[in-house]
A and B are shown apart, each in its own frame.
Chain A
Amino acid sequence: MEEFFQQLTNGLAVGGIYALIALGYTMVYGVLKLINFAHGDLFTLGAYLGLSLLTSLGLSGRLGPLAGLLLLALLVMGFVALTGALLERAAYRPLRQSPRLSAVVSALGASIFLQNTIMLLYGARIHVYPQDILPKVAIDIGGLSIPLVRILVFVVSLLLMGALYLFIQRTRLGTAIRAAAIDQAAARLMGINVDQVILIVFLIGPGLGGVAGLLVGLYYGQVNFTMGWVYGLKAFTAAILGGIGNIPGAMVGGLILGVIEAMGAAYISVAWKDAIAFMVLIVILIVRPTGILGERVADKI
């Protein structure tokens, strides 16, 4: 039983990161109906930028660990958000009126481009974050030993998700985003600047992805240029699992995917873990064709 709960916390910690990345997928999808395959590489960019800023500016030394990390996160968020907006302008906006899959291919091209840009700039070798930033303490809760950093990462993910949820539900801009997601033409008629909404979505989504990259770098300590491909696919799966376009869905999907993986590895087979996760996904989609929290949309008639 102790092992079960240990695996549950393992799964939730991994799932928290999936969920954070999945938010970027789901936000962009909600408004543009575009699967942004470059999102995983924006996540990688966040991890690398975080490393560069961390080692070159020495923020935590000057401002103390907490303020330093906060500033670092804001910087990374800003840079990656800017890249995301540029990407939207260059690679997606010209394709907005074309068949949906064209934009998907452009996104795949952007993904290859970004990934190789990172490789050419930083080299192909694995890069390592400094080790002494976060405390290495484990907390004992009822016989379970959970590293403090894992809890921190999880809490930060939850806070960011909560903030985003409130932003979408409670603010004027959030309302505009929701309106544009439902019907762009109608939103335009209601005086909503849809282009601006899309820009904001492409600032927030990649920004969150960048922070997720920073968190992964800080916690796991190791980054390489292909990491976005693995995390991107997992996060996309999570977004679909929860019902793509739906923000609570991305959170739920991410956490569930993490837990399924941990349990599959624990009780069936480690080598088959990913296959098990996909099988569960397929079964869930057969039962609920639009994901766990996805709304059932009636087909156009």
Chain B
Amino acid sequence: MKRTVVWGLTWVMVLAGAGLGLADSIKIGLMAPVTGSWASEGEDMKHIVNLLAAELNAKGGLLGQQVEVVLEDDGGDPRTASLAAQRLATQGVKAVIGTYGSSVTEASQSIYDESSILQVANGSTAIRLTEKGLKYFFRTCPRDDEQGRVAAQTIQKMGFKKVAILHDNTSYAKGLADEGNALLKKDGVQIVFFDALTPGERDFTAILTKLKAAKPDVVFFTGYFPELGLILRQKKEMNWPVPFIGGDATNNPDLVKIAGKDAAAGYYFLSPPVPQDLPYEKTKAFLKSYTAKHGAAPGSIWAVLAGDGFLTVTEAIKTTKTTDPTKLAAFLHGGKQKISGLTGEIGFNAKGDRVGEVYRVYRVDAGGNFVLQAK
């Protein structure tokens, strides 16, 4: 009896879990971390892409067909991602948007390439992803070396002589820290501290005490906003006034909520423009309808870049009037494309990297707002 119940339950779940397919639609895959540590990014990605697809379908869809977004969870982990990629590849998607983490994207790259599926990553900034000569791989986000260059430039322009670098040993943060370290050293800036914190922890007083003893002029933090918010807050409690400058993974309004306005004030970071700062009418209208639907604006720029990935793919299909991935890739690589995205005009170079200057310097003001700094 008990066994019957267990197996019955299992089968109900199996059947409920079986995928549903719709005929006569263009399927676009979305690979996003909707579970696991980056679930908040994945949630925003899902909302943005679904909303864009709904808007597109309301206007009549693509090539006379409706667009269907097929979501697969990559769990923020490479093994799950490779299975998600296999699954999308067998469901007849024409292109895939995503994903967030670089190593997660890397685990899926060869699968999409072997199945000739266009992939447009949105948050994977590791340099080597586009250095492999993959024909169908693109990304709407900038690369780490670009950010490292801007960071080193900004730090020197501000006149800091002794720099401490703190990363969190993720692939992304370590890459950016190494990049910044090398560039700054080359220009004769003294690096007085270079170490990593452990993501997911809450107490960083031990690190701050050690940092303080190294007496830096500025701390360059390349990790993510949840840890930075706590660091700024605990730094304030220690009454240590050193300035912090950070990378684009700290660009999230929750940063100010975690740190508190007084502790976050004066913090500098580099980033592509924040969603609310995007000067385009189209974007403003989109964010308005997004806020109306989900109660708050999307948290991070990376999710918005997933929306850009969606726009890239659908515009390419619309212009070329085909879903043949080889033709789409040729169109996107062509350099003549002018796609208007949420973060401005989108274009790609021969490697599949996005062209154009994207990084800006922001400063948090006393009211907790992210203020764009003059170049």
Q: Which residues of A contact B (CB under 8 A)?
A: 3, 6-7, 10-11, 13-14, 116, 119, 123-126, 128, 131, 136, 138, 145, 147, 149, 216, 220-222, 224, 226-227, 229-230, 261-262, 265-266, 269-271, 273-274
Contact = CB atoms under 8 A, between A and B. Distances in A.
Nearest to A125: B40
B209 A266 contact: yes
A152 B275 CA distance: 40
21 contacts: A10-B206, A13-B203, A14-B205, A14-B206, A123-B40, A123-B43, A125-B43, A126-B226, A145-B238, A145-B239, A147-B237, A149-B237, A220-B230, A222-B202, A222-B226, A224-B226, A226-B200, A262-B205, A265-B206, A269-B195, A273-B198
Given A222-B226, A273-B198, A126 B258 contact: yes
Nearest to A6: B209
- Name the 4 nearest CB pairs between A and B, nearest first: A124-B39, A271-B196, A10-B205, A128-B257
Contacts of B229: 222
A11 B205 CA distance: 9
Contacts of B196: 270-271
A229 B199 CA distance: 12
Contacts of B198: 271, 273-274
A126 to B, nearest CB: 5
Contacts of B203: 10, 13-14, 220
A10 B239 CA distance: 15
Contacts of A116: 35
Contact of A221 (B200, B206, B209, B233): B233
Contacts of B210: 3, 7, 265-266, 270
A262 B206 contact: yes
Q: Is the interface of B mostly helix, strand, loop or mixed?
A: helix
B200 A227 contact: yes
A223 B125 CA distance: 27
A195 B196 CA distance: 47
Given A7-B209, A222-B202, 9 more contacts: A7-B210, A125-B43, A125-B254, A126-B40, A145-B239, A222-B226, A226-B37, A270-B195, A270-B210
B201 interface: yes
Interface size class of B (residues with CB under 8 A): 35 or more
A216 B202 contact: yes
B197 interface: yes
Contact of A124 (B43, B169, B206): B43
Contacts of B43: 123-125
B219 to A, nearest CB: 13
Interface in B29-59: 34-35, 37, 39-40, 42-43
A147 to B, nearest CB: 4
Contact of B260 (A13, A131, A149, A229): A131
A145 B257 CA distance: 25
Given A10-B205, A125-B43, A216-B202, A138 B238 contact: yes
A293 B207 CA distance: 30
A138 B202 CA distance: 19
B20 interface: no
A10 B196 CA distance: 18
Contact of A10 (B40, B197, B209): B209
B237 A136 contact: yes
> Looking at B35, B210, B226, B239, which has the most chain A CB atoms within 10 Å of its CB?
B210
B5 interface: no
B39 A119 contact: yes
A111 to B, nearest CB: 14
Given A221-B258, A222-B258, A270-B207, A124 B40 contact: yes
Nearest to A271: B196
Nearest to B201: A230
B18 interface: no
B254 A126 contact: yes
A271 B170 CA distance: 11
B213 interface: yes
B78 interface: no
A132 to B, nearest CB: 9
Nearest to B256: A128
B299 interface: yes
Contacts of A149: 237
A270 B12 CA distance: 48
A187 to B, nearest CB: 31
A3 to B, nearest CB: 5
